Copies of this chain bind each other. A is one copy, B any other.
Amino acid sequence: MPAAALSDTAKLCVHTITTKPLPLEQALELYPRYGVHGITVWRQALEGRDVKTAGRQIREAGLEIVSLCRGGFFPAREAAKRQAAIDENRQVVDEAAKLGAPLVVLVCGAVPGQPLTESRKQIRDGIAAVADHARASGVKLAVEPLHPMYADDRSAINTLRQANDLCEELNHPAVGVAADVYHLWWDPELEAQIARCGKLGRLWAYHLCDWKTPTTDLLNDRGLMGEGCIDLRGIRGWVEAAGFRGFNEVEVFSTRRWGMDQRAYLDEIKRAYLEHA
């Protein structure tokens, strides 16, 4: 059953990348004015800042930290590079712990030309090598399956089925899933795999935006909710039926939106969220 319209913004989270031109301090000042209650912090937004202090400032602004974006990128042809990726991911976990973020989102990685089966094994092994440290740090890891158009160099995990399979195989309390409508909306198995993810107790994050027709850029032409063809109410209905009660995270990469006044944009986000999410 499709979800009911949202009557308030209590569960509205915005990713800092969505309003990329805003320095973190300005985001903290503006987000609450536009009804935003949760924030997912991209690591770039922390550059040159003390992470603990940033975490305190975020909480003082009245925002809940939903997750830290992003870890991952485990596959590499050389063992030394794979080890470097594991070390880097442990640092990301430490950063999340300092920030006070309960979750790290993983864009798992891929190497152009390396067999996908090999990249998938390296992803499994990389996550396995970080998971205990994450658990000990009180941080969870969310595998985000990425759209198949990113299978060349961003992620060899391209469907929710694969992410669920990976969670089952690793069977680790710190490893779950982030479901993003942009990556998953086309999948004929989506409803079934969302339900399965819920049964596994692994549905830990829900990201939204929209798919525009035409889409003019593979990376930075995402639409705001309502601008595209994704059945947002339908998918949120499945997500909620699977037991998810977390934030609805607005994650939009858009060259056009990054070029506009970010206050006007935040106002647009709030309206699009209430009308279409």
Chain A interface residues toward B at CB < 8 A: 112-113, 115-116, 120, 147-149, 151-153, 158-159, 162, 185-188, 211, 213-216, 218, 228-229, 231, 234
Whether A215 contacts B213 in the complex (CB less than 8 A), given A151-B186, A188-B162, A229-B113, comes out as no
The answer to whether B218 and A152 touch across the interface, beta carbons within 8 angstroms, is no
A163 CB, nearest partner CB in chain B, Å = 11
A183 CB, nearest partner CB in chain B, Å = 9
In the complex, besides A113-B229, A149-B149, 8 extra interface pairs with C-beta distance below 8 angstroms are A148-B149, A148-B187, A149-B215, A151-B186, A152-B229, A158-B186, A159-B188, A215-B218
How far is A152 from B187 in the complex, measured between Cα atoms in Å? 12
- What B residues does A229 contact at CB under 8 A? 112-113, 152-153
Whether A188 contacts B120 in the complex (CB less than 8 A), given A147-B149, A149-B148, A215-B218, comes out as yes
The answer to whether B152 and A211 touch across the interface, beta carbons within 8 angstroms, is yes
How far is A149 from B218 in the complex, measured between Cα atoms in Å? 9
- What B residues does A152 contact at CB under 8 A? 211, 213, 215, 228-229
- What B residues does A151 contact at CB under 8 A? 185-186
- What B residues does A186 contact at CB under 8 A? 116, 148, 151, 158
The answer to whether B116 and A213 touch across the interface, beta carbons within 8 angstroms, is no
- Between A and B, 12 residue pairs with Cβ closer than 8 Å are A112-B213, A112-B228, A115-B231, A115-B234, A116-B188, A120-B188, A147-B148, A147-B149, A148-B148, A153-B214, A153-B229, A158-B188
- What B residues does A147 contact at CB under 8 A? 148-149
How far is A148 from B151 in the complex, measured between Cα atoms in Å? 12
